[in-house]
Amino acid sequence: MGAETTATYGQPGRVTLLADGLWMIDLGFQGREGVIAAYLIREGNSLALIETGPSSTLPQLLAGIRTAGFEPADLGQILVTHIHLDHSGGAGVLLRHAPEAIVRVHPIGAPHLIDPARLVASATRLYGDRMEALWGEVAPVPADRVVPLDDGMPFAVGGRLLTAIYTPGHASHHVTYWDPEGSMAFTGDAGGVRMAGTSYVCPPAPPPELNPDVWAVSVDKMRALRAERLCLTHGGPFADADAHLAQIDPNLAELRALALRELRGGADAARLIAAIHDLMAERIGTDDPDALTNLEWATPSYLAAAGLTRLLVKAGDVPASA
Ligand SMILES: [Zn+2]
């Protein structure tokens, strides 16, 4: 196993040893603690990374891998839950430091890692001139380094078998990585966003693929795993897996109902964004302003407003002018 770590949870770029051969690396997104994490698994001689974060946090990722006692070049596999830039935007740049690594991704996501032009164009519509500051470079992943996953597909990290479980709803190509031996599920965004020390699970609801009905099926799949621990990309590990996952459907329904009420009441985008932020502030259940600020960084109200509006327009619940 890796070297000893002097781990302190929550410090940007710092590393937490979660279990034998499992580290969480806080990527220090936007200089903040606990917003985006990656996970490092060591089994035998194999080293795998779950999520890369964006290129903007690559220095912290590389430092975190070294703090855990390895070199980025030791990476054999990079597992991404989906291709949103906060989860895998840094994959192409990371490969320059990890010449042996392959990248596992759902087949629907694979073409967008190989040629990120459309992904970058659609992200630019959402983020505008903040693209570079938020995400940094989005480099293509060479096609021969991409290994598409099948639903239920087991694969080995050393002697440890992980399974990719198809969990769409947040994104059409989302997978959850399941480690049956460790009873841990790496849930990406499908398992929601939850800041350390809080109980509210916020389902990230960006456009364009948000689908609550499909997501509900994925939640059932995740609950059926009976994981002892969920490892979130946004918020870290939680041990109350079933109660946590049980929040996703109702909390998404609550956001949807709020958006419906606001849009039918004539709200413009700014008012809907404020209403979503206010709901998160009410639900998060802590007076710690950092927790709410971090939640907003991890799942911005303006993305949820855009995603929920699109969903309601598509369903015919509000007119297309909303
Ligand atoms: Zn996402």
Residues 48 and 320: their CA atoms lie apart, in Å, by: 44
CA–CA separation, 233 vs 121, rounded Å? 24
Q: How far away, in angstroms, is 9 Cα from ligand 1 center? A: 23
Residue 85 CA, ligand 1 centroid: distance in Å: 8
Which residues, other chains included, contact 58 with Cβ-Cβ below 8 Å and sequence gap of 6+? 52, 90, 93, 94, 136
Distance CA 35, CA 24 (A): 12
Residue 14 has a pLDDT of 87
Per-residue confidence (pLDDT) for residue 182, from 0 to 100: 95
Q: How far is the CA of 2 from the centre of ligand 1 (A)?
A: 30
Nearest residue to 233 (alpha-carbon basis) of 285, 282, 177? 177
Per-residue 3-state assignment (H helix, E strand, C coil) for 59-89: HHHHHHHHHCCCCHHHCCEEECCCCCHHHHC
> 198 CA distance to ligand 1 centroid (A)?
20
Each residue's pLDDT expressed in tens, for the chain with a length of 322 residues: 333 333 333 455 689 999 999 999 999 999 998 999 999 999 999 999 999 999 999 999 999 999 999 999 999 999 999 999 999 999 999 999 999 999 999 999 999 999 999 999 999 999 999 999 999 999 999 999 999 999 998 999 999 999 999 999 999 999 999 999 999 999 999 999 999 999 999 999 999 999 999 999 999 999 999 999 999 999 999 999 999 999 999 999 999 999 999 999 999 999 999 999 999 999 998 888 899 999 999 999 999 999 999 999 999 999 987 6
pLDDT at 322: 64
Give the distance (Å) from ligand 1 centre to CA of residue 3.
32
User: 6 CA distance to ligand 1 centroid (A)?
Assistant: 30
Centre of ligand 1 to C-alpha 65, Å, is: 23
Cα(305) to centroid of ligand 1, in Å? 15
Q: 19 C-alpha to center of ligand 1: Å?
A: 26
Q: Check residue 1 and give its pLDDT.
A: 34
- Tell how far the Cα of 211 is from the centroid of ligand 1, in angstroms: 13
Three-state SS string over 168-236 comes to: CCCCCCCEEEEECCCCEEEEECCCCECCCCCCCCECCCCCCCCCHHHHHHHHHHHHHCCCCEEEECCCE
210 CA distance to ligand 1 middle (Å) = 10
> Which is nearest to 182 in space by CA: 168, 200, 152, 162?
162
Please tell me the distance from the alpha carbon of residue 308 to that of residue 68, in angstroms, as a whole number. 40
The number of CA neighbours under 13 Å toward the Cβ of 307 is 24
Confidence at residue 2, expressed as pLDDT on a 0 to 100 scale:
33
- Expressed in angstroms and rounded, the spacing between residue 190 Cα and the centre of ligand 1 is 8
Cα 189 to middle of ligand 1, angstroms: 5
Q: What is residue 13's predicted lDDT score, i.e. its pLDDT?
A: 63
Residue 241 in 3-state DSSP?
Answer: helix
Can you give the pLDDT at residue 56?
Answer: 96
Under a CB-based contact definition with an 8 Å cutoff, are residues 203 and 218 in contact?
no
Distance from Cα 116 to the centre of ligand 1, integer Å = 15
Provide the Cα torsion 87, 216, 235, 177; round to 10°. Answer: -60
The answer to whether residues 310 and 322 touch, using CB atoms and an 8 Å cutoff, is no
Ligand 1 geometric centre to CA of 82 (Å): 7
Given a contact cutoff of 8 angstroms between Cβ atoms, the answer to whether 103 and 78 are in contact is yes
How remote is the CA of residue 108 from the centroid of ligand 1, in Å?
14
pLDDT for 10 equals: 45
Query: Which tokens is 106 given?
Result: 């759902």
How close is the Cα of 171 to the center of ligand 1, in Å?
7
**What is the pLDDT, as a whole number, of residue 8?**
39
Calculate how far, in angstroms, residue 188's C-alpha sits from the geometric centre of ligand 1. 7
CB 243 within 8 A of CB 301: no
Measure 174 CA to ligand 1 centroid, in angstroms: 8
117-169, pLDDT tens digit by residue? 999 999 999 999 999 999 999 999 999 999 999 999 899 999 999 999 999 99
Domain architecture of the chain: domains with CATH: 15-250 (3.60.15.10), 254-314 (no CATH)
Residue with tokens 């802590």: 286
